[in-house]
Amino acid sequence: MFYELSDEQKAFQKRVREIYEREVSPLVEEYERKETFPVQLFPILGKEHLLCLRCPKKYGGPGLDKISECITVEEMNRICVGIAAGVMVHGGLATDPILHYGSEELKLKYLSPAVRGEKIGAFALTEPDAGSDASGIRTTAQKQGEQYRINGSKTFITNGTICDFVTVAAYTDPSKRGIGINLFVVERGDPGFSVTKKLRKLGNHSSDTAELAFDDCEIPKERMLGEKEGGGLSQLEGTLKSGRITYGARSTGVGQAAFDAIFNYVKKHQRNGQPLSRSQAIRFILAEMAMSLEAMRYMTYRGAWLFDQGLATMKDASVIKLFCAESVQSIVQKAMTIQKQAGLMADNPVQRFLRDGRLAKIPEGTSEIQHLVIAAGLGL
């Protein structure tokens, strides 16, 4: 049973924190303001072996475990949720399906440059009329000779305008709801693939988000993941299980950032002539925030440990995603409550944490979907 990070993992955590503070922190203000992703980070993080962490050494990756991946996710989200989103999708949703279901040729073609940060990946599942219900997508992939022709649209796609390749979910057999889905790798230069719109958001400003279109997009049949048509829904479920555990670390990271900011604020400021740190009400709020973070962190890393042992279920992943996503809402709201008007100022990071933290309830399945998955796991 997992209880504590090993000395090796603690050393890795320290190294990761130092790298992110050096390479990511100086970029946050500029790229949040510009609402773009700093693409120059990819090769930098690639050289530090901090992309696609669970990718085996055979393909150039560091071959680390899920716990180590969660360590990097928590540390980066503590600094900037928007920038972290691009790195997370690239190293998880975009490349995990290729690693687990792609041919050896596809692994060598896409994973190795992705690990080095030379190619940027995206993952396209969500559509205008289908989000958490993956089986509801309408995008199709029709086989024609040695090619597949993809038609459909995707939205809310992280790394959409900057990606070199995108892992796309589409129906090869629309008559088989869910079962007839497959995953395909589409490259930026493929005919019929286009970015139709860059999206602006309430939070996660430095995350690149776009709408994509596939109009008779032709790709070689070899770029389908898996050996046969159908079965893509199970591939999606495996990817989502991993992603929901990762989201626990994401919520923990932004929650920790909010706590750190408000803790330092309380130690330095007074109200009505008295130090804020002596207010019993504020001390109680801080204690509750710290308590929530302890529970979020333990639940996340226990889930990562279960994942590494091959024991994690979809219910386990949904419990982590739901608990941490909801807990971080309370944490950032408490931080804003303490700061009052000061928390609303544009140069105060607490307002960014509030906006960014709200996103935790939506990707990888909304909080409502997590309730349904947990209930099903209970046999209801």
Position 38 in a domain: yes
Average pLDDT over residues 312-337: 96
Q: How far apart are CA 163 and CA 263, in angstroms?
A: 38
pLDDT band at residue 264 under the 50/70/90 scheme: very high
Q: What's the mean pLDDT when you consider all of the chain? A: 94
| Residue that has been written with the tokens 């900037």 in this structure | 80
Q: Which two tokens stand for residue 67?
A: 């716990």
- Is 1 within the bounds of a domain? no
Q: Which of 215, 231, 247 is the last residue of a domain?
A: 231
For residue 18, being part of any structural domain is answered with yes
Same domain, 355 and 246: yes
What is the pLDDT at residue 329? 96
Q: How many domains does the chain have?
A: 3
Domain match, 221 and 239 both = no
| Residue where a domain stops, chosen among 116, 142, 165 | 116
| pLDDT score of 368 more than 70 | yes
Judge if 224 and 237 occupy the same domain.
no
Q: State the CATH number of the domain containing residue 129.
A: 2.40.110.10
| pLDDT tier for residue 1 given thresholds of 50, 70 and 90 | low
Evaluate whether 298 touches 70 at the Cβ level (below 8 Å).
Answer: no
Average pLDDT value for residue range 311-333: 96
Catalytic residue among 146, 227, 364, 368: 364
Q: Are residues 226 and 238 in the same domain?
A: no
Any domain includes 263:
yes
Structural tokens at position 221: 């049949």
In a domain, 2, yes or no: no
Q: Which residue has the higher pLDDT, 330 or 271?
A: 330
- Whether pLDDT at 2 is above 80: no
**Is position 40 within any domain?**
yes
Asked which of 116, 138, 168 is the last residue of a domain, the reply is: 116
Give me the pLDDT at residue 4, please: 86
Percentages (nearest 5) of helix, strand, coil residues in the chain: 55, 15, 30
Q: Are residues 156 and 129 in the same domain?
A: yes
> Is the same domain home to 288 and 200?
no
Share of the chain above pLDDT 90, in %: 84
Over range 55-80, report the average pLDDT: 96
Q: What proportion of the chain, given as a percentage, has pLDDT over 70?
A: 99
What is the pLDDT, as a whole number, of residue 313?
A: 94
Q: Are 211 and 251 in the same domain?
A: no
Q: Is 311 within a domain?
A: yes
Task: Please check whether residues 224 and 261 belong to one and the same domain.
Answer: no
For 27-51, write each residue's pLDDT tens digit. Answer: 999 999 999 999 999 999 999 999 9
pLDDT, one tens digit per residue, over 73-95 is 999 999 999 999 999 999 999 99
**What does the pLDDT look like over 333-351, one tens digit per residue?**
999 999 877 777 888 889 9
Nearest CA among 182, 118, 178, 129 for reference residue 156: 129
The pLDDT of residue 27 is 98
Look up the domain containing 210 and give its range: 122-231
| Catalytic site includes residue 35 | no
In this model, does residue 131 exceed pLDDT 80? Answer: no
293 and 203: one domain?
no
